[in-house]
Chains A and B, each alone.
Chain A
């Protein structure tokens, strides 16, 4: 099977990661990472949920806290996963707010603080550092997820906890 086919076939990974982040964000916020500072994630909104099978339609939820809305719970019960979400991530005092697409990990609207009047090179370097620090944090979180996801003994336990969370939403 070619790479393009594999990317398509395994496109559920990004959705599962986002949904897992959502679940973990509602378990006390902080996600501990192996050998690194913990990350706090908050799913803000709007959020987009969809299922990759059957005739299920996508659910876009907006408003003040769509992630905790009854509609979000209904969508999860129906088997939908998080496809795209506006979220806040914080690590070691640095905060990022952005929309993350679960299928592609495309980022949009990543807010970078305005440093004020600075030489272009300084501004560029500062902005680049914030962007790439975010990327490192995202990648570390995803590795943490993959470590759990491929762990034959741990993942079923995690799924069981996720099921309890979905039931309670």
Chain B
């Protein structure tokens, strides 16, 4: 669900480094570099990822004034994916191979010839297939270094964090429970205690061997 309207969903991230003093110039440069560009079928691309204007997902001509709102950076992350229908692909390929055999009056094609036809069929289908488009949102509060990304998916999180790091030249970390606990433990010099921590039985009737079993699993 989007951040800018309605109820909000997603995952909290935290920027791990301090921004350099000239971060605005760097942002402007890198936003253009990592703005969304459509899939290039000629290059056999099946996916395109990039930033877009959070207010207009078709606008990828990004300047700082479109993304910086007081102390917030707000951006859309657009992901376009092409998926070729495999049944259509196989049928089209069979047809193309049949046509080649007929033209050359042969009963069989070499492996190399088949691969060439396969690549051509795939490229033709890509060119004529509309991509699936998804847009996610992120807002980044610069002072606190806190970021909300509007998806909790692990896979999308990787795409997001890679693009974020490349664009803004800082690392970003998901605020999963253990990672929060680790930061707290490091600040309070209880890192070892955290590493040794085992689950507690919240039930008075939980069998003792359950806890031991988990402990044994960890030792393995």
Interface string of B167-211 (1 = CB under 8 A from A): 000000011111111101100101001110101111111100010
Interface contact B69-A124, CB-CB below 8 Å: yes
Partner pick for A17 among B6, B152, B174, B177, CB 8 A cutoff: B177
Residues of A within 8 A of B148 (CB): 128, 131-132, 135
B interface residues with partner A (beta carbon < 8 Å): 1, 3-4, 6-12, 55, 69-70, 72, 74, 139, 141, 144, 146, 148, 152, 174-182, 184-185, 188, 190, 193-195, 197, 199-206, 210, 213-214, 218
CA distance A149 to B185 in the complex (A): 11
Number of residues of chain A lying within 8 A (CB) of chain B: 59
Is there contact, CB below 8 Å, between A107 and B9? yes
Nearest 10 pairs of A and B residues by beta carbon: A106-B152, A14-B177, A163-B204, A108-B9, A12-B199, A110-B8, A10-B178, A79-B206, A79-B203, A13-B177
Which residues does A use to contact B, with CB under 8 Å? 3, 6-7, 9-14, 16-17, 19, 52-54, 76-81, 98, 101-112, 120-121, 123-125, 127-128, 131-132, 135-136, 139, 142-143, 146-147, 149-150, 155, 159, 162-164, 166-167
B interface SS class: mixed
Q: Please tell me if the beta carbons of B176 and A163 are within 8 angstroms of each other in the complex.
A: no
Tell me the complex Cα distance, A6–B173, Å.
Answer: 15
CB within 8 Å for A78 and B178 given contacts A10-B197, A101-B152, A121-B70: no
Which residue in chain B gives the minimum CB-CB distance to A152?
A: B193
Are A125 and B9 CB-contacts (below 8 A) given A106-B152, A135-B146, A166-B204? no
Besides A101-B152, A132-B144, 9 more A-B contacts (Cβ < 8 Å) are A10-B197, A11-B177, A16-B200, A78-B205, A104-B11, A107-B8, A107-B9, A108-B152, A146-B181
